[in-house]
Structure 1
């Protein structure tokens, strides 16, 4: 049984650092849900499991490597790990390839640095039917452990694109006939009004900025519309994940109705 000092465990533990993830093109996925989706996507290169995990998840652990509880804990990013950690292959999709598919719904995470928020928006985008999620500018690493956990396996369902230049993302999507909508609390267009007018049915990319600072002015100016989610009660605002869910599902519903 492998321990914390076993070379393969030591090598896997290095993937907790971004520089090692970038150098190897691999990352860690923790827990049964993430491991299940990684296996379905044929992205698992090595799977570590405790004795308890072998008993609890026999369908996932047929080819797993047994490790001690301490070794598993050293690989996990949670206080109470669930006994499974996989070394997975990253599979970024180039921007031009993702755009060539003319996705009907795309989420662009511009300068979002909080991994929990990014992973939650990625999960929401997947649930709403988005084909691609773009991490643009100085955004968080999508393979950060917290981001992977927050995505709950959705990281393996959508095209994940990383592009340093947010304006290149906007230009590529617009060139493919995709409408660019920027989500902002100060937008001049109301989301409900756009939905009522039938303006959400076209292929759409939503731009989302960080919860603390929102979208930069130049990206707001580059969008076709700047859209606010209406607040019908007394709340000051919605957090990023909630606003993204409202926007993405509004588009998904409009697109479904149009078909």
Structure 2
């Protein structure tokens, strides 16, 4: 490894910290992946995206396998002091590892050409934790991609990246398109568009999720606008069996995405059964 970086006021440190700003990320095409989980997934699944990797001596000793994997992938981890890492990181309590990554090129045409079965769409979602958790849930449920509309939080903002727990490196995340354009492209590719909203006539358990489809998830405060709901082929609700008024966005999205996974798995089992 190169000599330990000790100057927390160095220009290199300031340039890394500046990536917490959306305008800087957009201009440079770079973002921060912080902590062992995000860095491990970046190194394992998308080492091509990792431009720089910073690690404290303590973290290097604790995560020897990750440092070795990074070295094997042609990366050159840079040792830094804890003070330097804290000056670089957006997180209040850095965990000894930080990667500067290139923003991946994710094109909706490429996603649709691959014949996706399930796509999650975030419409005007502003909360970083919710957005990141939905991306993580989509990954866990086996969705093929997530599309983030314009007017939403940047999926490469530090808090979003941390909330994905590395899932950002597992599936395509397309961003920046208006909701009507997203829906039009999805429908043209043969996907049914389902709006997840409490006004739905059918529940997720009653909806037909066997074919290719996309879930449209709305803002955490006001949900989907009437205009966005009208774009969907059907409005589907998550049933509330107790006294809770509703579920938050991330929880409702997880329920919907796993309902898709259950029906898809069941269809596959029936198709291959005796």
Using structure 2 for the length normalisation, give the TM-score: 0.90
Separation in structure 2 between the aligned mates of residue 228 and residue 92 of structure 1, nearest angstrom: 33
Offset from partner CA, 1:146-191 (integer Å, 9 cap, x none): 0000000000001110133111110111111111000011222222
Separation in structure 2 between the aligned mates of residue 78 and residue 7 of structure 1, nearest angstrom: 20
Query: Paired residue for 2:43?
Result: 39
Deviation at 1:106, TM superposition (A): 0.5
Offset from partner CA, 1:75-104 (integer Å, 9 cap, x none): 222232110010001113112111111210
- 2:95 equivalent to 1:82: yes
Report if aligned partners of 1:48, 1:65 keep a CA contact under 8 Å in 2: yes
The count of corresponding residues between Structure 1 and Structure 2 is 255
Separation in structure 2 between the aligned mates of residue 65 and residue 166 of structure 1, nearest angstrom: 41
| Structure 2 counterpart SS, 1:231 | coil
- 2:245 equivalent to 1:232: no
Query: Paired residue for 1:100?
Result: 113
| Structure 1 counterpart SS, 2:161 | helix
- 2:66 equivalent to 1:57: no
- 2:163 equivalent to 1:163: no
- How large is the Cα RMSD of the aligned pairs? 1.1
Report if aligned partners of 2:220, 2:248 keep a CA contact under 8 Å in 1: yes
Offset from partner CA, 1:229-251 (integer Å, 9 cap, x none): 11111111111111001100001
Instruction: Trace 1:108-127 onto structure 2 (pairs within 5 A).
Output: 108-127=121-140
| Structure 2 counterpart SS, 1:59 | helix
Separation in structure 2 between the aligned mates of residue 178 and residue 187 of structure 1, nearest angstrom: 19
| Structure 2 counterpart SS, 1:193 | coil
The runs of at least 4 consecutive aligned structure 1 residues that moved more than 3 Å come to none
The correspondence for 1:69, drawn from 60, 67, 82, is 82
The correspondence for 2:224, drawn from 215, 225, 245, is 215
Query: Paired residue for 1:21?
Result: 25
- 2:19 equivalent to 1:10: no
- 2:259 equivalent to 1:250: yes
Q: Where in structure 1 are there 5+ consecutive unaligned residues?
A: none
